[in-house]
Amino acid sequence: MKYIRKGGLPQAHCAGCGNGIIAQCTLRAIDELALDMNSMIFVSGIGCSSWIPSPLFNADTLHATHGRAITFATGVKLASPKTHVMVFTGDGDGAGIGGNHLIHAARRNIGLTVILVNNFNYGMTGGQVAPTTPYGAKTSTTPFGNLEQPFDLCKLMEGAGATYIARWTTFQVKPLTTSIKKALQKNGFAFIEVISQCPVQYGRRIGMEDPAKMMQWFKENSVPIQKAKEMSSEELKNRIVVGEFVNVEAPELTEEYQKLFMRLSHGKN
Amino acid sequence: MSQPIEPGTYFMQGNEACAEGAIAAGCRYFAFYPITPAGEIAERMAERLPRLGGIYIQMEDEIAALGSVIGAAWTGVKAMTATSGPGFTLMQEHIGHAVMTETPCVIVNVQRAGPSTGIPPVPMQGDVYQARRGSHGEYEIIVLAPYSAQEMFNLAIEAFNLSEEYRTPVILLPDEIVGHMREEVIIPNFSSLKLVERKKPTVPPEECKPFLDENVAPMPSFGTGYHVHVTGSSHDERGFRNVRDPEAIDKVVRRLCAKLRKHVDKITKLETKYMDDADVALLSYGSSARAALYVAKEARAKGYKVGFIRLITLWPFADSAVRKAAQQVRKILVFEDNLGQIVNEVQRAVAASVEVELVSPEVIGTLHRPEYALNRVLQEMR
């Protein structure tokens, strides 16, 4: 019970939801790094993925408002820079209402680890179309098919300046766990997009009600970055490019503050 | 360690005094999004906080500013943001979150003329109801109305003290006149200040109940091993979500409101002058109170029995204190720079026993013109 809060079970996700896999990968990553749960602070927004740490994880958990988990997490990290601050968000929470906060946190390179679970819809509220829903997909609010183009969130994060960017699906359990470990050890803003199955609200409407079937679809349509580089955009249509897109070093914001404090305390302006 | 504030007598702007008061109270996290007429508070904090090891951050919008304040507060620090009308409107959801999660924090709204973009550097006292009811749901909140640069300093400290004592967001509600005016401000010795810190838990984590105590629950900080579950959803005393039973939210709403309502007489403050034999009372708050006080003095000089009541706390409304202060008067004239907000509360509080009437400035968005206001008051006198 080191990692699971007393009273945190049973968890509330639907049968077949990918969030359970992501919860496990996260806790295994923390365990393999031997991180102290007393130094972990989990912040989440509103949506199914926000229920991954809250109330399940046995640590300080802050359930914020819809789209704004990253803003709360920024305050936590700035005021308590030695803690590991991890944000759980979804495609609607993080890239819809929360889009602005996502890009600014990446820009300012604040040392947060952000797990964005992309299940291609707003699941908790009944399966409405979201900023990552594929063109043409039928959702509860696009009964004639989605007319909009979705985000490529990893490209968005690259444009925003994130120093660690990765994408995996719930099928790639081991690489996902490895990425989470890297992200937690990263000194900077780390972003991991996890493509996840939502059988009840999304899968059912696009003819993939069976979660195993959707995970099979993830497996068959995942393309590693190296291979994707040699493919045309036509070949990459409806495929999921997975892997580590970016892993660079840049000044982390809480360190910048520490440097400023040092400068000022030595009388230099 | 030397004092964080320099004692002395200063000629200082209200906004600057507000920043100094916050620093005196122990604020070491300030988040901001640029807006007129609150900028000077931020600029002072940006200059002062880093030398004290405090964080100044400019966020991407006001929603983010207050969100980060709440996050910082849970790590144990005193945190604040400042804004004006349009930003205050954006902050309402997070004000509700801070109420629901019992997070101590201070939000300064330097009121400007609205609605909407209005006129940024022009005052108005238009956000009085919004400060009380701007967020959705059933809740109570504390709102203070400074009327001078000195009070911007004093009430900033009071705001932090109340937020820590009652584990609630506190809104400091000046208007642009009070924010931008320059006056004498006396900053005392740091050691003379009475500062309040939030209650910390005295029992181990398994026994700790960090929420929903009418007498204020202890607040464990993140990173101290308490593994606290903080949520804006309906929850129990342990902080665990219960979104199934209406009885759970009934308890939440009743306890959160009782936490302030029970202590209303301790929380609310008002000031009175010339009330002993007053026939008519001028009741006001914020910058309008300066006009009301001037008129009361002038009327007294002319031999008229005019009294003065100044609300320092706007919310919770000081029903019994207002009733008591006005028990001998025949009529209350409420001076406010709007078309009637606090006047309705005064009317409600004194019920049928005293006549209450609104006196707005001739031009909303300006201070009551002295000659106009004095004439208006003398019309009432027999």
Give per-residue pLDDT as tens, B138-158. Answer: 999 999 999 999 999 999 999
Which chain A residues are closer than 8 Å to B241 by Cβ?
Answer: 54-55, 63
* Best CA proximity match to B228, nearest among A44, A68, A27, A63: A63
Partner residue facing A5 (CB), from B55, B64, B227: B227
- Roughly how many angstroms between the first and final C-alpha of chain A, as a whole number? 50
Contacts 24+ apart (CB under 8 A), B344-352: B345/B317, B346/B283, B346/B322, B348/B319, B349/B317, B349/B318, B349/B319, B349/B320, B349/B322, B349/B323, B350/B322, B350/B323, B350/B326
Average pLDDT of chain A, as a whole number = 96
Q: Find the mean pLDDT for residues B253-260.
A: 98
For residue B23, count other CB atoms closer than 10 A to its CB: 25
What are the structural domain ranges in chain A? 19-265
Distance CA A130, CA A121 (A): 5
Which residue among A58, A59, A64 places its CB closest to the CB of B67? A64
Over residues B322-354, the pLDDT tens digits come to 999 999 999 999 999 999 999 999 999 998 889
**Token pair in block for residue B178:** 């009070």
B31 contacts on A by Cβ (under 8 Å): 75
Fold (CATH) for B270-380: Rossmann fold (3.40.50)
Is B382 a residue whose pLDDT tops 80? no
Listed residue (A32, A31, A78, A81) closest to A59, CA to CA: A31
pLDDT at A145 over 70: yes
**Average pLDDT of the segment spanning B201-218:** 97
Half-sphere exposure of B86 (CA within 13 A, CB side): 13
pLDDT over 80 at A267, yes or no = no
Nearest alpha carbon to residue B335 among B295, B284, B381, B379: B284
| Inter-axis angle of helices A69-79 and A253-265, nearest 10 | 30
Judged on CB neighbours under 10 Å (0-12, 13-18, 19+), B323 is middle
Query: Which residues 19-38 of A have a C-beta within 8 angstroms of B?
Result: 37-38
pLDDT at res. A266: 84
Query: Closest approach of chain A CAs to the CA of B338, in angstroms?
Result: 33
**Third-level CATH fold of B8-192:** Rossmann fold (3.40.50)
Encoding tokens for residue B63? 């929603």
Task: Please report which helix (H) or strand (E) contains residue A194, including its range.
Answer: strand A190-195
Is the pLDDT score of A269 beyond 60?
no
Residue B1, pLDDT > 90, answer: no
Q: Are B68 and A63 within 8 A, CB to CB?
A: no
Q: Given this model, what pLDDT does residue B29 score?
A: 98
* Averaged pLDDT, A188-210: 96
pLDDT confidence of residue B352: 83
**What is the pLDDT, as a whole number, of residue A246?**
98
Chain A contact probe: residue of B57, B58, B75, B92 with most A CBs at under 10 A: B75
Half-sphere exposure of B209 (CA within 13 A, CB side): 9
The per-residue pLDDT for B359 is: 98
The whole-angstrom separation of Cα B380 and Cα B375 is: 9
What is the CATH architecture assignment of A19-265?
3-Layer(aba) Sandwich (3.40)
Amino acid at B223: G
Inform me whether the pLDDT recorded for A101 exceeds 60: yes
Do the beta carbons of residue B280 and residue B263 sit within 8 Å? Answer: no
| Chain-chain contact of A64 with B97 (C-beta, under 8 angstroms) | yes
- pLDDT at site B66: 98
Set of chain A residues whose Cβ sits within 8 Å of the Cβ of B76:
79-80
Cα–Cα distance measured from residue A73 to residue A67, given in angstroms and rounded to the nearest whole number: 12
Is pLDDT above 60 for B119? yes
Own/partner pairs for B51-56, CB < 8 Å, 24+ apart? B51/A264, B52/B4, B52/B23, B52/B28, B53/A261, B53/B28, B54/B23, B54/B27, B54/B28, B54/B29, B54/B30, B55/A78, B55/A79, B55/A257, B55/B28, B55/B29, B55/B30, B56/B30, B56/B31, B56/B32
Q: Are strands B8-13 and B182-187 parallel, antiparallel or unpaired?
A: antiparallel
What pLDDT does residue A1 have?
A: 81
Of A203-207, B174-178, B208-212, the least confident: A203-207
Question: What pLDDT is stored for residue A268 in this prediction?
Answer: 60
- Which of B29, B225, B231 comes nearest A38 by C-beta? B225
Beta carbons of B60 and A100 less than 8 Å apart: yes
Residue A149 pLDDT greater than 70, yes or no: yes
Provide, as residue numbers in chain A, all residues whose Cβ is less than 8 Å from the Cβ of B210: none
**Residue from B100, B168, B108 nearest B137 by CA:** B100
pTM of the entire predicted model: 0.97
Chain B residues near residue A39 by CB distance under 8 angstroms = 223
- pLDDT bracket for residue B116 (50, 70, 90): very high
Measured between alpha carbons, how far is B342 from B311 in angstroms, rounded to an integer?
10
Task: Select from A36, A72, A114, A86 the least CA-distant residue to B223.
Answer: A36
